[in-house]
A and B are shown apart, each in its own frame.
Chain A
Amino acid sequence: MRALTILAVLVFAASSDGAVAETGDAERGAKVFRQCVSCHQVGEAAKNRVGPHLNGVFGRLAGSVAGFRYSDHMKRASADGLVWTFETLDAFLENPKSLVSATRMSFRGLKKAQDRADILAYLRRYSDKPSDIPESEPTLHLGGPDLDPAVLALQGDPDYGEYLSSECTTCHQADGSSQGIPSITSWPAENFVVAMHAYKQQLRPHPVMQMLAGRLSDEEIAALAAYFGGLD
């Protein structure tokens, strides 16, 4: 739970580009990628540095580069079966916390869909599966978690959230302790909302959470975020 308070200070980028299809430009992507190189290497002789190397990232199980020490949250996403596809990488680049809550990748995210599409087109050059080369599969932006700004702006009712929370507290402890199941108290509301929508849209891979989030309305997610955000 303490680690999560760190999240609060990280600037958060909301998705607002809509679901417009974007085609990536790898040459431009190489330039956009410059903001990543202090942590990530890609290409011949790329090594793990602050972040893992990015060769072959497409189609790879998250958190699976040999020799790299991942955060517990990235390990969890990996065990849940998060695979890096265009869609999941796009969501991760837009806001890393939306997919992996306490990832060590302290990057505020790329707001522009075109920037993400360009970087991904560039990274595809270093992914060796034939289906990953740009010509065989257009680097289309399919969006996600695709959130209307109005959804993010919803003010949740914490009393309603308290009622709904009883479904969560069968597994997640209300006092914030975590043993095998993550703490969900004291999260900034935006992180909570985006994470829940990422489950609802099946970008985050956990089956229990996909199922439970899948039947929550926008208002219910906002109410839960308001309630759990107020617990410490």
Chain B
Amino acid sequence: MQISLSHFLAVGALLFSFGLVTVATRRNAVGVLMGVELILNGANINFAAFNHYVVGGISGQIFALFVIVLAAAEAAVGLAIVLAVFQTFKTIDVRAADLMRE
């Protein structure tokens, strides 16, 4: 079977959906961050696939690399926020952090 662009896009879409569901449903803040990683990686697959099948060259891969670096930075900041949340609420359940309602 010839692996075509549609397959890659399907995988990317699956990853994105899984990530979205994870972000939307996980109560654990670390889980939410992991969901974000899935979303980003879903996007990376799209970058790589479109570059390979449509554009050519390596610009898509370079973008994917940037996104990986960005995801690392984001994870660092995200974990720091999780720590701060934990210190404040003594839990990392995202439903507890609802102070913005007030």
A binds B: no
- B residues within 8 Å of A by Cβ? none
